[in-house]
Structure 1
Amino acid sequence: MGLFNFLKGEFLEVVHWEDSSQDTMVYKFPMTDKQQIKEGAQLIVRPSQVAIFVYEGQIADVYEPGKYELHTATMPIFTSLSNWKFKFENHFKTDVYFVNMKQFTNQKWGTVNPIMMRDADFGILRLRGFGVYSFRVSDAVTFLKEVFGSNKFFTVDQINEHLKSLIVSSVSDVIAEAKIPAMDLATQYDEIGQLAMARITDRFEIYGLMISDFAVENLSLPESVEKAIDKRTEMGALGDLNQYMKFQTAEAIRDAAQNEGGGFASMGAGMGAGAGIGKVMADAMASPNQAQTQPQAQPHMETVACGKCGAQNRKGAKFCSECGFSFIKKCISCGHEIDPNAKFCMECGASQVVESKCPKCGESIDADAKFCPHCGQSTKA
């Protein structure tokens, strides 16, 4: 009976893992040096699990959720590695790892050191943030190779610090590249979270992991910056600061006038307060009217003299405002409007100088000339 129990303990007939924890990512099936898995044993892989067989340091067969009978037909890779088909044994020795594929939710992240950011309104700022994320194993084989290796037991805590570092680094880059003003950060948590999640996904894939959810709960500014934002908000709510200061002054003078006291000092304070209030109210009421009635400086306007009556007219006017003389000159050849002083038309190129003959010497002279430039004869005679 004792020998039977010994042999029964040496050859394992059922291989499985019942996960009772909330944070175990990898569990190595326990076997002593003398224990071996019996050929034809039952393998049970529960939902959200993956079983990986490792033989002499090499990954052999991988099993998804289900129930399996272990023999040469269902273990092709292991059989090839161990040359099992050439042996006449009814048991084998291998390591079995169960990888938990479920979601690990409500994982906390936060900045250990403040994130430095440059803001257009406040300059260089120190920013702190925190939030939550969820992740799971997406590739069990990659996770085995890159992370837990040959550990018998692996939990979320053993990798969480590294994941947090990746997250904070990604969030810092996103905030720096997004260039969101400090006053608008609180309204952009969702957008920052989506951008950060896309960047974190690429970094998690290297380890066979996948981030399934990411949220920014808070991005906090230094206390001094928060006070400055509060002050700016108050200024916006007050509106016209000039009118507000006048109102505050009137309130202060009224309080001084109502201060309890006696004798001439109280009377003088009351008279001074009354005069002060009158002046403040007068200034407050008169300022808008004065601003409206104050004459505005007229801009300088260029003028030209009319060629007929000599009156000054706005430069660019087409007719004289005094005599109605037309300032518009047309080409004597094509009729196109030209500058009054132009000597040639810009459309047809015709000369605008009208020539005539001197009555004495017969030389060509301008039609507007009063004397001949050749002989001095008057053209108006």
Structure 2
Amino acid sequence: MVTVIEWVNPGEDEIIWRYPNEVITWGSQLIVHEYEVAVFMRDGKVYDVLGPGRHTLTTQNLPLLYKLVGGSNSPFKATVIFVSMKQFQGRYGGETQTRELAPIKYYGVYWFKVADPVLFITEVVGGQGLYDATDVTKFVRAYFNENMMKHLSMYSIVDLFQNLDMVSTQVKVKLLEDFRRLGLELVDVKIEGVNTTDEWRQRLFWIMQTGNAQYVMQLDTAKQVAAELGKSQGAAIGTGMVLMPQLMQPPAYQQPAQPYAGAGVPPAQPQQPAAPAQPAAQQKEICPNCGNPLPPGARFCPNCGAKINRCPNGHIVPEGAKFCPICGAKIE
């Protein structure tokens, strides 16, 4: 009786299937369906690969194994791994931190397929000792998520919330190389959404308003210092008089040095008239709830309907603020 080796009714998400019997007889019939390949392994090493079709196992189509086992009259031992070459879809999601250490939750979908079955079997199946389809799928998903976390942590929170399409494109390029190392082709990646905590959403609003993440973090530090000083009545006044004015100063702008010829004192630079400050009504305002631009002086966001809190001088202030961070006016 002729033995038939065939992957029957593969599951939708099954990337590989291992033929359960490792004792192979010469003359057996190997059936490989479209979008599949059959890989012959022995002692963790790949020897021969057969593509779609009906194959009678002979010394001609398994030359490398024949050289290893010798003789064509007796059975030989080998592991047959079927690999699906079709496109697969996977979902991902996780948590990481941005450049400012802001906690970020993200989720989305990606598509991939096996491009190099020999490399894939060598690196994933043989290299990791994963011969079960479920274990291989879990490994690929974990591998994708681990690299996604690493790449997203290189961006700022403003990039993720304002330029998500750009970030998705750049991250995809990096993930392509990560997947190529496993013999996989990453067809596409879509970041469907990102989110952060309520505290960092407030910070994001001020970073987008001022364009200066360092100053926003400096103000947060000042609040924390003030809270700690309030716990120690004796040292609070003296220490606060020294620390607080320094913490409240905006970061100084460093004027780049201008080269000049000769030694000694550089020539004086002509004074340029300072550009008049824009009125608050003309500055671009952003909704703290949804991040969309606001019309000048708006009391409600035309995009999400959120109420816009303003100080008596018209500046936008965060929810619960007692004083305006721009002009210092008391909020009634």
TM-score bin (small chain): 0.5 to 0.7
User: Is the aligned partner of 1:103 residue 2:93?
Assistant: no
Render the CA deviation track for 1:156-175: whole Å, top value 9, x for unaligned. Answer: 124322321112212222x2
For residue 73 of structure 1, give the secondary structure of its aligned residue in structure 2.
coil
Tell me how far 1:28 sits from its aligned partner.
1.1
User: Is the aligned partner of 1:214 residue 2:189?
Assistant: yes
Alignment of 1:51-70 (within 5 A): 51-70=38-57
Normalised by the length of structure 1, the TM-score is 0.50
Match for 2:91: what amino acid? K
Match for 1:237: what amino acid? P
Instruction: Determine which of 146, 156, 164 is the counterpart of 1:165.
Output: 146
Distance 1:26 1:125 in 2: 39
Residues 162, 185 of structure 1: alpha-carbon distance in 2 compared, 3 angstrom cutoff: closer
Distance 2:298 2:87 in 1: 56
Partner of 1:356: none
Distance 1:61 1:208 in 2: 17
Distance 1:215 1:133 in 2: 6
Match for 1:224: what amino acid? E
Residues 191, 94 of structure 1: alpha-carbon distance in 2 compared, 3 angstrom cutoff: same
Match for 1:239: what amino acid? G
Distance 1:233 1:171 in 2: 25
Distance 2:21 2:103 in 1: 53
Instruction: Determine which of 133, 147, 172 is the counterpart of 1:154.
Output: 133
Asked whether the equivalents of residues 28 and 151 of structure 1 are also in contact (C-alpha less than 8 Å), the reply is no
Tell me how far 1:140 sits from its aligned partner.
1.2
For residue 15 of structure 1, give the secondary structure of its aligned residue in structure 2.
strand
Instruction: Determine which of 18, 24, 35 is the counterpart of 2:8.
Output: 18
Partner of 1:93: 77
Distance 2:177 2:143 in 1: 15
Partner of 1:116: 98
Distance 1:216 1:152 in 2: 30
| Identity rate, percent | 25
- Structure number with higher strand proportion: 1
Residues 72, 129 of structure 1: alpha-carbon distance in 2 compared, 3 angstrom cutoff: same
Asked whether the equivalents of residues 98 and 152 of structure 2 are also in contact (C-alpha less than 8 Å), the reply is no
Give ranges in structure 1 of 5+ residues lacking alignment. Answer: 1-7, 119-123, 248-381
Please give the root-mean-square deviation of Cα atoms over the aligned residues, in Å: 3.1
Residues 216, 82 of structure 1: alpha-carbon distance in 2 compared, 3 angstrom cutoff: same
Residues 117, 47 of structure 1: alpha-carbon distance in 2 compared, 3 angstrom cutoff: same
For residue 286 of structure 2, give the secondary structure of its aligned residue in structure 1.
helix
Match for 1:99: what amino acid? V
Partner of 1:141: 118
For residue 60 of structure 1, give the secondary structure of its aligned residue in structure 2.
strand
Render the CA deviation track for 1:94-151: whole Å, top value 9, x for unaligned. Answer: 221111222221x222233x31333xxxxx6333322111122221111211111254
Distance 1:53 1:141 in 2: 10
Normalised by the length of structure 2, the TM-score is 0.57
Distance 2:195 2:45 in 1: 49
Asked whether the equivalents of residues 24 and 153 of structure 1 are also in contact (C-alpha less than 8 Å), the reply is no
Give ranges in structure 2 of 5+ residues lacking alignment. Answer: 210-284, 289-293, 300-310, 315-332
Tell me how far 1:58 sits from its aligned partner.
3.3
Partner of 2:286: 233
Match for 2:114: what amino acid? V
Runs of 4 or more off by more than 6 Å in structure 1? none
